[in-house]
Amino acid sequence: MKKIIYSPGEPAGIGPDLIIQLAASKAWENFKIPIITIGDPVLFIERAKKLKKKVKVLELDSLNNIQKNNRSLIQVLKVSKCINTSAGKLSKINAKYVLDVLDYSIKETIKDKKSALVTGPLNKETIISINKKFTGHTEYIHKITKSDDVLMMLASNKLRVALATTHIPLKNVPRKITKSLIVKKVKILDKDLRNKFKIKNPKIKILGLNPHAGENGKIGKEELEHIKPAVKELKKQNINVSMPISADTAFSQKVLNETDAYLGMYHDQVLPVLKALSFGNSINITLGVPIIRTSVDHGVALDIAGTNKSNTSSLSLAIKTAKKLIK
C-alpha cells in the first residue's frame, strides 16, 4: 500500500500543529493516500487541545496497520518519548526524541518503496547539542541512506532551484566549488528531473559563483577554472546545461520561461529568489537518494507554535508532491 510517513521535526515548533490542522480540514481525506505520523501520541493529543482542534489520535503498533485517512483522525506510531511537549520554547532534552523519529522515518522509507517521507521543520541547534556533526535534513538523509551523493532542490510552480553547496559558512564555498562537484550535482539533477519529474530533456541553468559570473576572470577565477570545464564535460554527455550565468539576471521572466531548474553555488544565492516568489507554496525535495523525501519550505516558527496561525500550504504541497513521486 502506498503511504506517506510524516516526521514532524521540532516538537516545540509548528511541525505537530501543521498535521493537526490538516487532519481537521477537508483536505485530509482528499489526499487519497494514508498518512502516518511518527512521534509521541501525547505530544499530538496535548497540542490538539492547545489548538482547540477536535482531533482523535490513534496510536498504531505497526506501519502495517495503517488505515485510510479519516477527517479529524491522526494515525501516530510511537518510537520515542517526547519529554517536553510545550509549544514555542526549545528544549534540548528533546534532541534524542527528534533524532529517534527522524532515524526511524528514514529507515522505514528505505524498506518500503511504496512509501514517501515528508518532513516538518527541524531546529539544528537542538540536535547539535547531542550530534555536533548534524547540519540538516539533506545531509543526514545522505548519511543514513549511504548514498554516493545528494542534492537539495526546492521547487514551486514558478521555479526549481538546486544547491551545489548547502549548510556551510560562506567563506568555505569557493574551495568547495570544483569541476568534480559541479559534474556530480548536475548529473543528479538531470537524472531525477527525467526520472522523477518526467521531463524528457531538462534545461538546466548554472549560476556563476562570482558577480557577473566572474567576467572572464576579472572578478574571480572559479568560473574559468572549475564551472566552465564542468559544463563542457556535461555537454559531451548530452546534458542540456548552460555556461555559468550571472545570478542577478538569471531569474528574469524570459530566462525563467526557458529553464526547468537552476543550480546555484550556495544556499542564499537562490533561496531568497524562490522564497520571494513562492514562500509557503514551495517545498524541499532531496535528490540523489534511494527514497522519496519532500519537506516544507519554512522553519519551526516558534513564535506561532500552538496558536493556530501556521499556514499548512507548504506541507500540503509536500504531501501531494510526494504522492505523485511514488511509483
**8 Å CB contact between 238 and 187:** no
For residue 67, give the 3-state DSSP assignment. Answer: coil
CA distances to 194, 234, 260, 297, 325 from 201, rounded to whole Å, are: 7, 13, 9, 27, 18
Whether residues 116 and 162 share a domain: the answer is no
Whether residues 158 and 219 share a domain: the answer is yes
Whether residues 157 and 139 share a domain: the answer is no
Q: Write the pLDDT tens digit of every residue in 8-60.
A: 999 999 999 999 999 999 999 999 999 999 999 999 999 999 999 999 999 99
Whether residues 222 and 295 share a domain: the answer is no
pLDDT > 90 in the chain, percent: 97
d(CA 56, CA 315): 20
Whether residues 34 and 70 share a domain: the answer is yes
Q: What does the pLDDT read at residue 220?
A: 94
Residue 279 pLDDT greater than 90, yes or no? no
Whether residues 157 and 252 share a domain: the answer is yes
Q: What does the pLDDT read at residue 180?
A: 98
Beta strands 283-287; 293-296: pairing state: antiparallel
What's this model's pTM, rounded to 2 decimal places?
0.93
Q: What does the pLDDT read at residue 126?
A: 93
Q: Which helix (H) or strand (E) holds 324?
A: helix 313-325
Residue 327 pLDDT greater than 90, yes or no? no
Q: Write the pLDDT tens digit of every residue in 115-135.
A: 999 999 999 999 999 999 999
Whether residues 262 and 327 share a domain: the answer is no
Q: What does the pLDDT read at residue 304?
A: 97
Compute the average pLDDT of residues 253-278.
96
Whether residues 271 and 295 share a domain: the answer is no
For the chain, the domain total comes to: 2
Whether residues 23 and 61 share a domain: the answer is yes
Q: Which residue has the cell 530533456?
A: 201
CATH label of the domain that carries residue 197: 3.40.718.10
Grid cell of 139 as nine digits: 545531509
Residue 239 pLDDT greater than 90, yes or no? yes
Whether residues 216 and 266 share a domain: the answer is yes
Structural domain of 99: 1-147+291-327
Q: Write the pLDDT tens digit of every residue in 171-224.
A: 999 999 999 999 999 999 999 999 999 999 999 999 999 999 999 999 999 999
Whether residues 166 and 259 share a domain: the answer is yes
Whether residues 82 and 204 share a domain: the answer is no
Using alpha carbons, select from 187, 287, 199 the residue that is nearest to residue 237: 187
For the chain, the 3-state helix, strand and coil shares in percent, each to the nearest 5, are 40, 15, 40
Residue 280 pLDDT greater than 90, yes or no? no
